Copies of this chain bind each other. A is one copy, B any other.
Amino acid sequence: MQQQIESIVLPNGLAIVSERMPDTRAAAFCWLLPGGSVYQQPGKAGTSTILADLLFRGAGQRSGRELLGQLSLLGVQNEESITPAHLVLSGVTQARNLVETLPVYADILRRPHLPEEEFDAARSGLEMTLASNEDDPRQKLTLELRRRTYPAPWGIPADGELADLPAIDMEDVRQLAKSSLQPHQAIFSVASSLAMSDLLPTLEKLLGDWQPGEITAPPLPPTTGGYEHLTHESQQTQIGIAYPAADSTHPDYLKAWAIVSILSGGMSSRLFTEVREKRGLCYSVSANLHSLKGAARVICSASSQNERAQETLDVLLIELQRLKLGIAEEELSRCKALAKSSLVMAQDSTSSRAASIARDWYQLGYVRTLQSLKQQIEDLTVPDLLAYLDRWPLANLQILTVGPQPLVNNMAQ
């Protein structure tokens, strides 16, 4: 499980992180640019997504069609996404084509045309995506719960807001491009059979003279929680609960992660057993640990028939409270076994590794090896987890339901 991770920071600030995976012919890469949703102007959520779209509509010497054609000929399967902190350009291709891909991305980042005449098409495309999220109650729950549990602008829907779109104009996009498409706080990661030395000369030539800007992320204050209901005519009620946990930069992070695994990892987990198997309250129930840099939440969600939704919420809340009463050794053993098989699988996937090393670099300033993660998970004990639950009591719960009728938060009484 020995990993070969190399990193370098260019004088202009661009961090380059590479994991060498000698046995694969695939190559995956991620560009993390400081142009995520928190950097948009207030009331203009969607600017980042429109920028990401326009970046591929022509750059350097290439028109939009030529640019996309070139990426296809290089076998690049690209994907763009917006997180609170970053505008992310990722892709996978054959390792043999990777070096040739770099000049195309250097053009996209440094010399995008951002054609004004295509702004309307990009915005109306985004409008359609956001509208179809509105039609899906599960999507709606996820987005609206994050909005409530994280403070603005960290909780706003990263892809954008329907209501904000009319206010966005080309000038907003240009401003965001200017502040975010620069090397300060930008990260480029690669997972492939190539060594850093295979990539660095090309990267230095393409990006060494890229001029840095200055950018600061907005603060991330604490939140307090509460209960809200959104009315939606549907056969099922969607239930979401979010509450604070140790984030990925915190020494307690893996303990938070283990608690969530005990709640929701696999078919022996507590939520699966108590909510689904024993009571048949719902078919889909899960808990995840969602971490920003500096704040994290446990996010539980379930969808239940409307008439059993109240009971589902009650049982979920009881399970969360019951954690501190005790954890069986066997629960922790199962959690460790599942973690180890997940780590073994992550090791085979270039795209999973490219995303992980970039995220680690952003959140931690270094890359956690799978070996060290495995060791830290192996070392966890039940008393560790119970002590964590003392330090991070169940508090500031944000509850959200989406369905025909509101429920009652019986824990608040």
Contacts and interface: CB of A to CB of B under 8 A. Distances in A.
Interface of A: 1, 23-26, 56-57, 64-65, 68-69, 71-78, 92-94, 97, 120-121, 124-129, 131-132, 134-138, 234-236, 265-268, 273, 276-277, 280, 282-284, 303-305, 330, 333-334, 337-338, 340-342, 344-345, 347-350
24 contacts: A23-B23, A25-B347, A26-B341, A26-B345, A72-B266, A72-B267, A72-B337, A73-B333, A73-B334, A74-B337, A75-B338, A77-B266, A77-B338, A78-B267, A92-B341, A93-B341, A97-B341, A120-B280, A125-B282, A129-B283, A131-B235, A132-B236, A135-B137, A348-B350
Given A341-B76, A342-B77, A69 B280 contact: no
Given A132-B236, A280-B120, A69 B334 contact: yes
Nearest to A278: B121
Contacts of A97: 341
Given A65-B273, A136-B138, A268-B72, A26 B128 contact: no
Nearest to A74: B337
A182 to B, nearest CB: 25
Contact of A283 (B126, B236, B268, B283): B126
B69 A268 contact: yes
Contact of A305 (B25, B131, B340): B131
Q: List the 6 closest A-B pairs by CB distance, nearest first.
A: A75-B341, A72-B334, A121-B280, A23-B23, A75-B337, A125-B283
Nearest to A351: B345
Nearest to A66: B268
A337 B96 CA distance: 12
A321 to B, nearest CB: 22
B341 A132 contact: no
Given A24-B344, A129-B284, A135-B136, 8 more contacts: A92-B341, A92-B345, A94-B340, A94-B341, A125-B276, A128-B304, A129-B283, A132-B236
Contacts of A75: 337-338, 340-341
A273 B283 CA distance: 39
